[in-house]
């Protein structure tokens, strides 16, 4: 009888563990469409806010600007190849699609998306570039640096403002489309929201580990901050109060991309391990997750998701675009 009871306990334990194991598995989702935009993979990439365009830094020292909707390559840029090792590893499309900003470790430039021509090229001498952002019409630029400084540049006047709030390396930066408010996060475990005209701190968001990803909602409603271990938070940008903490059910996650939906209900994130997640802003609950496909069968399993963007929302059904180091951009139907 004792043997039977132990056996029963083992069965119950196994049954109880099954839901936990299943909950950690990504949903089997295949993209609706897939476009190859860099043949041998990509160093960096970004999808526009309206998911109409993408920019991809390829492994062949060229940057491709694509019209995703029409699957058309518009421009090929190769401005930063004075040094073959000085590769473009950061790309950013302005919220109004007017301008693209590119950066290597020490150089950055702007490109007009209508003419395809460069509108400026600059170098940084005091520190390596860690992250970038660009405002509408390319009027202002934001550069996070390894020396802990964030530089805000107003191109029309040439005025440069240095934000000195961080005490260690800056990992991620972003700003509102009008360039008026910025956010930055660094190895000092802090994310700051600050005024780009005065450098004055608006909010300070503390984390228990180094902050590796920050994001501002383009409509000025939310801020997102995530650290290198297991804390990711969504904040009310008008009050500075916490809205939700993302609810992880598995190992710690690092985010390489993030985007808020236009309706203010969802957050999409990408990771360096092919994972894409959709979260509910109000609760931090994960609604679904899936993996971007590998480039080819029998290829390395990893892929960095460089950018995510919400597509059309028809009849309550959401679509998401992803761009990864595989060199592909994909369109997905979000599982209901």
Q: Render pLDDT for 66-123 as a digit per residue (tens, 0 to 9).
A: 999 999 999 999 855 455 456 899 999 999 999 999 999 999 999 999 999 999 999 9
Which H or E run includes 9? Answer: helix 2-23
The pairing of beta strand 232-236 with beta strand 211-216: unpaired
Cα 136 to Cα 97: distance, rounded to the nearest angstrom:
8
Cα 92 to Cα 15: distance, rounded to the nearest angstrom:
48
The average confidence (pLDDT) of the chain is 88
What's the rounded mean pLDDT across residues 192-198? 98
- For the cut 50, the answer to whether the pLDDT of residue 1 exceeds it is no
Which H or E run includes 6? Answer: helix 2-23
What pLDDT does residue 316 have? 67
What pLDDT does residue 11 have? 32
What's the rounded mean pLDDT across residues 36-41? 91
pLDDT (tens digit, 9 = 90+) per residue, 116-157?
A: 999 999 999 999 999 999 999 999 999 999 999 999 999 999
Residues 6+ apart with CB under 8 A from 160: 151, 152, 153, 154
What pLDDT does residue 87 have? 87
54-231-241 Cα angle (round to 5): 90
What's the rounded mean pLDDT across residues 150-176? 97
- For the cut 50, the answer to whether the pLDDT of residue 9 exceeds it is no
Q: Is the pTM of this model over 0.85?
A: yes
Instruction: Domains for the chain: give ranges and CATH numbers.
Output: 29-333 (2.130.10.10)
């Amino acid at each position: 009888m004792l043997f039977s009871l132990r056996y029963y306990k083992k069965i119950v334990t196994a049954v109880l563990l099954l839901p936990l194991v299943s909950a950690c598995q990504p949903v089997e989702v295949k993209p609706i469409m897939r476009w190859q935009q860099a043949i041998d993979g990509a160093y960096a990439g970004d999808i526009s806010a309206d998911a109409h365009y993408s920019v991809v830094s390829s492994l062949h020292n060229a940057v491709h600007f694509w019209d995703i909707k029409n699957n058309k390559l518009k421009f090929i840029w190769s401005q930063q190849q004075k040094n073959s090792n000085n590769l473009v590893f950061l790309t950013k499309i302005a919220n109004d699609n007017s301008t693209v900003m590119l950066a290597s470790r020490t150089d950055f430039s702007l490109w007009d998306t209508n003419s395809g021509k460069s509108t400026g090229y600059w170098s940084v001498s005091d520190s390596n570039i860690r992250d970038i952002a660009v405002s509408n019409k390319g009027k202002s630029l934001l550069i996070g640096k390894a020396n802990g400084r964030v530089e805000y540049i107003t191109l029309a006047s040439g005025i440069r403002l240095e934000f000195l709030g961080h005490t260690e390396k800056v990992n991620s930066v972003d700003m509102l489309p009008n360039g008026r408010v910025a956010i930055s996060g660094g190895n000092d475990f802090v994310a700051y929201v600050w005024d780009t005209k005065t450098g004055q701190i608006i909010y300070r968001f503390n984390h228990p580990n180094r902050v590796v990803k920050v994001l501002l909602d383009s409509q000025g409603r939310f801020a997102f901050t995530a650290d290198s271990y297991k804390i990711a938070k969504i904040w009310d940008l008008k009050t500075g109060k916490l809205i939700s903490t993302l609810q992880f059910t598995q190992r710690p996650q690092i985010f390489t991309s993030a985007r808020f939906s236009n309706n203010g209900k969802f957050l999409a994130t990408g990771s360096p391990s092919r994972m894409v997640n959709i979260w509910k802003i109000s609760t931090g609950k994960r609604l679904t997750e899936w993996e971007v496909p590998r480039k080819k069968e029998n290829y390395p399993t990893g892929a960095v998701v460089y950018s995510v963007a919400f597509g059309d929302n028809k009849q309550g059904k959401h679509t998401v675009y992803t761009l990864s180091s595989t060199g592909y951009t994909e369109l997905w139907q979000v599982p209901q």
